[in-house]
Structures are given as C-alpha cells and as structure tokens.
Chain A
Amino acid sequence: MGLNRRDFLRIAGLSALAGLGGKTAFEILAPGELEASEVPLPKGVKWGMLINMHKFDDALTKKCIEACHKYHNVPNIGNPKEEVKWIWTDSFHHTFPGQENEYQSEDIEEMPFLLLCNHCTNPPCVRVCPTKATFKREDGIVAMDMHRCIGCRYCMAACPYGSRSFNWGDPRLAPEALNPEFPQNPDYPTRSKGVVEKCNFCAERLAKGEQPACVEAAREENEEAMIFGDLGDPDSEIRKALREHYTIRRKPELGTGPNVFYVI
C-alpha cells in the first residue's frame, strides 16, 4: 500500500471524526478485504452431518480426531479434568443414554461413536450466553466469538451433549511432550485461557469451499463414512443418504434439534 504515516493518520482520523469507526478506515486502507463476519453466507443453506458407524473402526475415528485437532490447534492437556476436545469417541450407552438395553450386541455397545457439537437447530447454549459470544449463523452453524466470551461457562451447563470445553489453563502452555510442534496450524488461532471452545463445523474451511477436516479425513478412506452437506437442499448427498438409512440423533426428546445424524 502506498500510504505514508501522515496519510494513514489523516484517513483514520477523518473516519473516526465522521463516526465511521475502524472498519471503514480499514476498507479504505485495504479495499477488498472483508472482516470475517462479513463473509457472505450462501442463502438458504443449512449444514448437517451424517456419520455412518458401519464404516468406522478405531483407526478411522482416530484419523478424524487428529485431523480436526491438528487443524484447530486443539492441545492435548494430558489431564482428563482439564481436557479440551472438539471431536472424540465414546460408547453407545454414553452417546445415547437411556436407549441402551441389556441384551444389545456388544458390537454396537463398543462402537467408537464420534461425538462433536450437534449445531442444534434450537441451541440451548446460544439461548443462555449472556454476551452473544455464542451465536447461531444463518447457515445453522453454532459459532463462537472467543474474544467476547467472558468464560462464565453457562453454555457448558446448558449443553446437554457435553460438547463444550473450557480452557482451565493457558492452552499455549500445554505439555510440550504431548504437543510437539504446537501450534500445528499457523493459519488458525490458538486460544487464551478462560474461554470456552467447541467444534465450529469448520466454518473457515466451508468459506473456502472445503469440507470439514474430519469429513475430509474420513472420506479419504471411505466415501460413505461421513457425509457433510446442505440439509435445506432435497437433492443434496446428505438428504439422499438420510432417505436411504434409518438414522438416530442424540437426545432428540430435548427439542434442541441436533443436526448430526448417526447410522447404526
């Protein structure tokens, strides 16, 4: 940019005087660059995910988790009390409490169910957040502004899926032995202590036309393992798969409208 200090101050000062604020100044100084919040969302899209458990084994779930946690710089704290996780696995009983029965096959009970934020249609976490740090985007993604989050953890109390993690300590100080080369992705920010975080359906990858990191990792092995797409489009791959398979969701009776579907 061919601006000297004098011009910069003049433009910034004039914008401030006109009550336009920093945003406008930045538009003048760096035209064409939009703030993240201004990335246009495709109209009418409602993102959803289908997880076909028949296609998963421990190795594949591990690959998905690694892809996500590497991409988003989610550190391994090495202590279950303070752990931070965006996607992880658990048993049938823990994933779908109340639906287990004592005669169920061990295969199903021991399946490594992938758990993540359900990006609910009617999310309780958004309802309770006192600062709108957690909000719902038009495309259905339940997103977070970690600079606004005050760390009250009301969202963690409200989420019936245990999808949210809190940074009990400074994640940048996570044990080095467990986190070689942290942060692994310089393009994604690390977090500070004292804020909540969770899966964001890879909003930043979707903006670039890419699939979420876990879906991409799963589909490299098996095209049918995970399907991510537009629930608003009746002809989308995910809608076709939802017509073909019987699927279940976690705790649908709570009225949250989870948008992650499981084929068992």
Chain B
Amino acid sequence: MLEKAIKGEKKYWGWLAFLLVLIGIGLAAYLYQFFVGLKITGLSRDVSWGFYIAQLTYLVGVAAGGVMVVLPYYLHDYKAFGKITILGEFLAIAAVIMCMLFVFVDVGQPVRIMNVALHPTPNSILFWDFTVLSVYLLLNVVVGWNVLSAELKDIHYQKWVKFLIYVSIPWAFSIHTVTAFLYQGLPGRHYFLTAIMAARFLSSAFAAGPAILILLCLIVRKVSRFDPGKEAIRTLGGIVTYAFIINVFFFLLELFTAFYSQIPGHMHPIVFLFSGLHGVDTLVPWMWTAAGFTVVALILLVVPSTRRNLDTLAVGCGAVIIATWIDKGLGLIIGGFTPTPFETVTPYWPTLPEMAVSVGVYALGFFILTVLYKIAVGIKEEAAGLST
C-alpha cells in the first residue's frame, strides 16, 4: 500500500516539499522555544494557555467529526458513505497527531512528558485526554489500514475489525467530551464553567469536521480520478447544516444565561470577546468576523438551492470552518482566561515564533493527511479500475 505514496505527479511532490519547508520553519521555531523557554510565546502568568491549547481543542473536534461518515455507514448501512469512510478515518489520524503535538509544544518540560504515563493520575482530566486520544489514534490507524488493504486485495475485512469500528464510534464522542471536561470542571473560570460545554464542542465538531471533509472530497475529485460521489457530499452538507444550527443555538443559550441572569462573572468573558473589557479589545474584530461568517454559513446551508450546489456548498463549508475556528481556536481559551482571577484583564496575542511553531504542526498534519489520502485515493482508483 505504501508504494502508492511514492508514485505521484510533480504537483504532489511540490506540495509535499512546500509542507516540508513549513515543517522546517516550525521545527526551528520550536528549537528556539525549547532552549529559551515558553517566554517566546505571548503567554503570561494570567493567560497561561493560549494558541497551542486552542488548536488542540479545535483539532480534537476535527478528529471527532470523522465519525459523522463512519456512523451512518456502519450503523445505518448508508451506502453512499462507503466510499469515503476511509477519508474520515485518515482525517482523524492526521488531526489526532496534530492534537498531540500541540500538547507537546505547550509543555514547559517536554522531556518529562512520559511522566503522564509513568505516574498515571485518574483524577486528572489531562490524563484521560492523553488516554482517549492515544486509543482513538490507534483505532483509526488499525481500522483504516485493515479496511483499505482488504479493499486492495478485493476481500472483506476481518470480523474483529468490525468490532473495533463499533468501538471507535462512541470513542469519537468521548474524545471531545473529555476535551470539554478539561475546561468545564475548573472552578472560577466562568466562561468554561458551563454544563453545555461538551455539547457545544460536539456540535461544533460535527459541523467543522464534515465541512473539512466536504472540501477534501471536492479537492480529491479535482486532483484524482476517484469520485466520492455527489450524494455522499450532499448528505454531508445536510449533516453540517444541522450540526451548525445546533452549535449556534447552544451559543445563544450561553448568551441568554449570562445576560438575563446579569451575573457579572458570566457576562465578563462574553463582553470581553465581543466588545472589549477594561480597554482590551484584541479579540473583538475576530469575534464579529466569526459572527459574520456564521450568518453567511447559515444562509448558504439552510437555503436548499445553495446547499445542493457544490460551489455554494463549498463556500458555506469554508464559512463554517472559519467561524468555528475563531470560536474554538481563538475565543474559547483566551476568553476563558479573561478576566483573570483578580478581575483584571491581561492582553494576550500569539507571537511570531508561537505562530511559526503552530504553522509547523499544521504543516506536519497536512503532510500526513496528504500521504494518507494519496494512498487511499490510489487504492480507490485501482479498485474502480481507473488506474493507469
């Protein structure tokens, strides 16, 4: 199977080379951080988690979102998804690897990271996050690889694989629930301390994950002879629409609770995000951008004609990805640490080296994704008798 990854056109190699350059830049920035310390980031005593942990949060959602093709196919026998479950599983693999790297680059003593396994601490949610993410990675690697190699040999995959597939479905829900529990059980962080956090995470994951998958399917259609099928893409569009509407609804519930109760602690982070607090308004333009993209996405996804048209669906999915990324990859963590436990506001913005490290991690994730998709698409082409 691996040989599929080393047979490609110039464009394929060019793309991989470009990603390698970005990985190199990220690695250089990380080495700088490794030797100097996390002072090279914009983090501080008050905002002690930032861009890295926010990316972890967003990408756990992307990883979990893959289940939205696996579940209808295996539990409801929805045949149209049969061709693309592998794309969902491989997306999950790349996303989980990026998640783990974002935790790794965030810790101050990376050489001691295995202390989490050496001194297992079940009362720590971080221990559980570490566990569920590792198992989810393993499940997707084993399932994806076995199903695909069975397809290559034109046989049915083994029975035990089916068992792992059934395990992987609730497991996808668990990874994002546990990630929400990282935050929602912390006393004194008002923006985090909400029972709907896990539900919000899942709804945004099931919007963003399939939205990314739709864009990937459209790219695969363009650059290869493998066609994931219009029906599969359209059904995914419906899933994105429902999940995104639920996600917006959950956010409005947060707004109601905070502003009708008028409890200052509940209102402050939201005021900080959308209009600024104590003169700090770094996130305001971002949050309103997210709000704008939310409206665009809702219109394009809810109106049947624009949802069914693949071009406008792609724009709608892009809008979903941007809106959910700003919400989770930026606002959630910074808003959670604002105001500080002293009701003050400490500004935070990622620094250039911090961004470079993040770009490096994303580039590595895309590198893995590209190679995995190359293999998958190659086998799909061969199975369909399309290969040359």
Contacts and interface: CB of A to CB of B under 8 A. Distances in A.
The answer to whether A binds B is: yes
Interface of A: 80-83, 90, 93-95, 97-98, 124, 127-133, 148-154, 156-162, 165-170, 192-196, 251, 254-256
Contacts of A131: 112, 115-116, 118-119, 121, 124
Contacts of A192: 109
Given A97-B343, A158-B186, A132 B121 contact: yes
Main secondary structure of the interface of B (DSSP, over half): loop
B187 A256 contact: yes
Given A162-B46, A254-B187, A255-B187, 19 more contacts: A80-B45, A81-B45, A95-B342, A124-B186, A127-B123, A128-B124, A130-B115, A130-B127, A132-B121, A148-B112, A150-B115, A156-B45, A159-B188, A160-B341, A162-B340, A162-B341, A168-B41, A168-B44, A194-B38
Given A148-B115, A166-B108, A127 B45 contact: no
A93 B183 CA distance: 26
Contact of A124 (B107, B130, B187, B343): B187
B113 interface: yes
A168 B46 CA distance: 12
Contact of B187 (A97, A158, A196): A158
A167 B127 contact: no
B288 interface: no
B107 A150 contact: yes
Contacts of B245: none
Contacts of A169: 36-37, 39
A94 B342 contact: yes
Contacts of A194: 37-38, 107-109
B124 A154 contact: yes
A166 B38 contact: yes
B123 A170 contact: no
Contacts of A97: 341-343
A193 B37 contact: yes
Give the 4 A-B CB pairs with smallest separation, nearest first.
A151-B108, A160-B188, A194-B108, A168-B39
A149 B115 CA distance: 8
20 contacts: A82-B45, A94-B343, A97-B341, A124-B186, A124-B187, A148-B112, A151-B112, A152-B103, A152-B126, A158-B186, A158-B187, A160-B186, A160-B341, A161-B341, A166-B108, A168-B41, A168-B43, A170-B37, A196-B108, A254-B188
A214 B279 CA distance: 36
Contacts of A251: 188
Contact of B189 (A149, A153, A157, A167): A157
A160 B187 contact: yes
Contacts of B340: 162
A168 B121 contact: no
Contacts, number: 138
B188 A148 contact: no
B39, B103, B107, B123: residue with the most chain A Cβ atoms closer than 10 Å: B39
Interface in B306-347: 336-337, 340-344, 346
Nearest to B33: A194
A90 B342 contact: yes
B37, B119, B336: residue with the most chain A Cβ atoms closer than 10 Å: B37
Nearest to B114: A150
Contacts of B37: 167-170, 193-194
Nearest to A133: B115
A208 to B, nearest CB: 29
Contacts of B182: 154
A129 B121 contact: yes
Given A129-B124, A254-B187, A82 B48 contact: no
A162 B39 CA distance: 18
Given A130-B127, A153-B108, A194-B107, A82 B39 contact: yes
Contacts of B242: none
B126 A154 contact: yes
B108 A167 contact: yes
A168 B126 contact: no
Contact of A153 (B49, B115, B125): B49
Nearest to A115: B342
Contact of A94 (B36, B186, B187, B344): B344
Contacts of A153: 48-49, 106, 108
Contacts of B285: none
B106, B109, B346: residue with the most chain A Cβ atoms closer than 10 Å: B109
A153 B52 CA distance: 12
Interface string B228-261: 0000000000000000000000000000000000
